Amino acid sequence: MTETIINLDTVNPIEFFGVNNSKFDILKKKFPLLKILSRGTQIKLSGAPEQIEQAKEKIDLIIQYMERNGHLSENYFEQILGGDDAEVIDNFVDKNPNEVLVFGPNGKTVRARTANQKRMVSAIDKNDIVFAIGPAGTGKTYTAVALAVRALKNKIVKKIILTRPAVEAGESLGFLPGDLKEKIDPYLRPLYDALDDMIPADKLGYYMSTRTIEIAPLAYMRGRTLDNAFIILDESQNANDLQIKMFLTRIGSNAKAIITGDPTQVDLPRNQRSGLEKAVRILNNIEGIAHIELDEEDVVRHKLVKAIIKAYEKEKENEPDGSYHR
């Protein structure tokens, strides 16, 4: 008789064992010739070597699935234990794991869905700064946040910093209720929404409380040096020239940054110019900085969004100065 110990350090042991050890009981019934004990985050297997090896292979597959998906139902737990290895790998283990950026709560997978989103993934792997420019609904922000979460989970960076210019898009901050944070949070809501899709609520709360993930207005970046971080400047078309320069010069060692923007949706006052166009132009040929253009073919929202973008582009072409009226 031999013994082996399997550690569950990388998954939630409560999720593995199930409510009232329901999944653990399924495991023991599957291998009746083994003595299987649990203690904390460990499973101890005792019995014949070939039986232990079979059980270990199944448990490893379950751990692999849970590392990627978080949650595992009793039904899936039982199917993984009962299927042959080829069937399990085909049905439960992603055959192209490199295409998945993040495994979110409840088994949700986040991946680049269009050609230009995939170009964003490739660009940030090869460069430290990426400009992702395109209209609404093309997945710029969502893909950028997924890349940041991937980098954090893979320990490429130690923190994520998400920032936006707090520009009044037709509303006045002074008339909104609440303190400064409550006034600004609505402008940062899309960043929170993306994170909610990718990180379980309890872990996200922990990351926010420890400032492993920080969401803040662009003005809060002044004077900082951002090392070992993945930084995203979202809605950069609403930052002026000095603000974008300030942001870009915050980047420290072992840091990556994505700057997203839509030049057709500038909400700055009439007497201010967006700094995005200038930044894209003067930084175009610098090694380590990549530029990705997204278009209506990358729209992943409602099908009408693509038609709306095309209609506005057509109207823009008809304007004498090639720009939109405010």
pLDDT band (50, 70, 90) for residue 303: low
pLDDT at 210 over 90: yes
**Average pLDDT, stretch 15-40?**
91
Q: Of 184-193, 248-257, 289-298, which gets the smallest average pLDDT?
A: 184-193
Question: What is the rounded radius of gyration, in angstroms, for the C-alpha atoms of the chain?
Answer: 24
Average per-residue pLDDT for the chain:
83
Beta bridge partners of 45: 4, 36
pLDDT at 164 over 80: yes
Residues of 216-233 as b/e, b for ≥16 C-beta within 10 angstroms? bbbeebeeeebeebbbbb
pLDDT at 178: 56
DSSP string, 162-183: EEE----SSS-GGGSSS-HHHH
pTM surpassing 0.75? Answer: no
pLDDT at 98: 55
User: In CATH, what number does 2-93 get?
Assistant: 3.30.1370.10
Task: Give 87 or 83, the one with higher predicted confidence.
Answer: 83
pLDDT at 291: 96
**Average pLDDT, stretch 226-234?**
95
pLDDT at 171: 40
**Average pLDDT, stretch 105-121?**
82
pLDDT at 183: 59
CATH 3.40.50.300, applies to 101-318: yes
The structural domains of the chain, with segments of one domain joined by +, span 2-93, 101-318
Q: Which two tokens stand for residue 5?
A: 């110990």
Q: Are 56 and 45 in contact (CB under 8 A)?
A: yes
**Average pLDDT, stretch 164-183?**
56
pLDDT at 94: 53
Q: Which two tokens stand for residue 287?
A: 């090694």
pLDDT at 93: 56
Q: Are 126 and 290 in contact (CB under 8 A)?
A: yes
pLDDT at 261: 94
pLDDT at 191: 86
pLDDT at 326 over 50: no
